[in-house]
């Protein structure tokens, strides 16, 4: 079983919300929609669910055209950010509600609720009401209700966004196991690259209603096919600088960044033809100390330091560019102070003038 989106488009008040999206989502797969707010994640999910009708294109499930079929006639379940449970019903009754609506017999209901509760570790809470549960338990109840429905397609729209950090981490660790055991097609929307990497599966990087790239999550992370995908898969934002290659050197347009021959060779950039490029490197690859002898030093001005506990986000101005570095430990740097930071040429992405990836980092990074 597979769900196919074929050149799907959605226009609202003459404004394109979704443009020419084609995806094939296989049975038993986890598919992450990754992108910033307003990139089209929820709009695309509503089209998959049948809550909205596309302006163009088709949705096909196992050869059946679902394009104009309303949500009531589809076997689909959806879980939102909010804890949508019936407050006066017990956890058992909440999970059982779609089965009762479908007319299932008592034995079937008991078996399916028990199975879902065990899968989501809710068995001890079945007699409680939602108000007696933690936020994570309430969201697990909502997910369990979606699973017992036996839906072919389960859509999760940023389901952990309203939980605190500890609960998010708990559920993030559990969800891949839950998805694997269910066998449905799962689509999971998130703004967080780290969440996509933890969940695994496949990821579609979204930007302004278009799919920039779709493939195995680790592969999309390590080899973003274009600058748009690389930006979507970086939080804090990807650091980018325009450069020109001439005479075996890479220099920024203002001359402040100069990759000499050693740096070019270390980054696997020696075979680049002369011309203009964009270099991209992730925040944890902008170093406070030289990581090795081939690293390239630049002088930057501190804009702001954010201490997040065990890490510091340090924003620096480099010429006309604003970069951000993630450094372990507490780094309280005076605003406007000049510091030296280091770029590892082997950690740099190179994009051509059409923003297509032409050189990936030569030093591998685990996803």
C-beta pairs of 158-166 under 8 Å, 24+ apart in sequence: 158/41, 158/80, 158/81, 158/189, 158/190, 158/191, 159/79, 159/80, 159/81, 159/188, 160/195, 161/81, 162/81, 162/82, 162/83, 162/135, 163/135, 163/136, 163/139, 164/135
Q: What is the pLDDT of residue 132?
A: 94
Q: Are 77 and 142 in contact (CB under 8 A)?
A: no
Q: What is the pLDDT of residue 310?
A: 86
Determine if the pTM surpasses 0.85: yes
CATH of 2-226, one of 2.40.30.30, 3.40.50.300, 3.30.160.270, 3.40.50.720: 3.40.50.300
- What are the residue ranges of CATH 3.40.50.300 in the chain? 2-226
Complete DSSP assignment for 81-114: SS----TTS-HHHHHHHHHHHTT--HHHHHHHHH
Q: What is the pLDDT of residue 261?
A: 58
Q: What is the pLDDT of residue 367?
A: 53
Q: What is the pLDDT of residue 220?
A: 96
- What are the residue ranges of CATH 2.40.50.140 in the chain? 239-359
State the DSSP H helix or E strand holding residue 47, giving kind and residue range, or none if neither.
Answer: helix 41-49
Q: What is the pLDDT of residue 364?
A: 61
Blockwise average pLDDT, block size 10, the chain, 367 residues:
93 93 93 95 95 95 88 87 86 95 93 89 94 88 87 89 76 78 88 92 96 97 96 93 88 83 67 91 90 85 90 92 92 92 90 94 68
Q: How many CB atoms lie within 10 A of CB 319?
A: 17
Q: Are 364 and 302 in contact (CB under 8 A)?
A: no
> Which stretches of 165-315 are DSSP H helices?
165-182, 193-199, 217-222, 227-232, 261-266
CATH 2.40.50.140 fits 239-359, yes or no: yes
Q: What is the pLDDT of residue 240?
A: 95
Pick from 70, 72, 48: which is nearest to 58 by CA?
A: 48
Pick from 12, 9, 44: which is nearest to 157 by CA?
A: 44
The span from the CA of 346 to the CA of 191, in Å, is 27
């Amino acid at each position: 079983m597979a769900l196919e989106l074929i050149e799907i488009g959605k226009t609202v008040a003459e404004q394109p919300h979704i443009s020419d999206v084609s995806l094939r989502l296989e049975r038993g797969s986890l598919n992450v929609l990754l992108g910033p707010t307003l990139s089209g994640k929820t709009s695309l999910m509503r089209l998959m669910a049948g809550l909205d009708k596309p302006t163009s294109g088709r949705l096909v499930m196992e050869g059946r055209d679902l394009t104009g079929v309303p949500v009531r006639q589809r076997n689909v379940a959806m879980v939102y950010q909010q804890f949508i449970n019936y407050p006066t019903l017990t956890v058992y009754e909440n999970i059982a509600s779609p089965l009762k609506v479908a007319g299932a017999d008592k034995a079937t209901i008991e078996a399916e609720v028990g199975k879902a509760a065990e899968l989501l570790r809710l068995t001890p809470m079945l007699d409680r009401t939602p108000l007696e549960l933690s936020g994570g338990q309430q969201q697990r109840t909502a997910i369990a209700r979606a699973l017992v429905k036996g839906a072919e397609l389960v859509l999760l729209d940023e389901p952990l966004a309203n939980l605190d950090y500890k609960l998010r981490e708990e559920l993030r660790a559990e969800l891949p196991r839950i998805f694997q055991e269910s066998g449905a097609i799962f689509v999971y929307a998130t703004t967080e690259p780290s969440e996509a990497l933890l969940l695994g599966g496949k990821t579609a990087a979204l930007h302004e209603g278009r799919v920039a790239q779709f493939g195995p999550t680790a592969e999309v992370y390590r080899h973003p096919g274009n600058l748009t995908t690389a930006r979507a898969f970086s939080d804090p934002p990807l650091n980018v600088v325009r450069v020109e290659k001439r005479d075996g050197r890479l220099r920024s347009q203002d001359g402040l960044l100069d990759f000499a021959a050693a740096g070019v060779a270390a980054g696997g950039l020696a075979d680049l033809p002369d011309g203009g490029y964009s270099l991209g490197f992730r925040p944890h690859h902008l170093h406070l100390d030289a990581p090795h002898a081939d690293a390239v030093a630049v002088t930057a001005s501190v804009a702001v330091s954010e201490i997040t506990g065990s890490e510091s986000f340090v924003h620096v101005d480099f010429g006309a560019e604003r970069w951000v570095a993630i450094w372990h430990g507490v780094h309280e740097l005076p605003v406007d102070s000049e510091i030296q930071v280091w770029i590892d040429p082997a950690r740099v992405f190179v994009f051509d003038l059409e923003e297509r990836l032409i050189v990936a980092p030569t030093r591998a990074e685990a996803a």
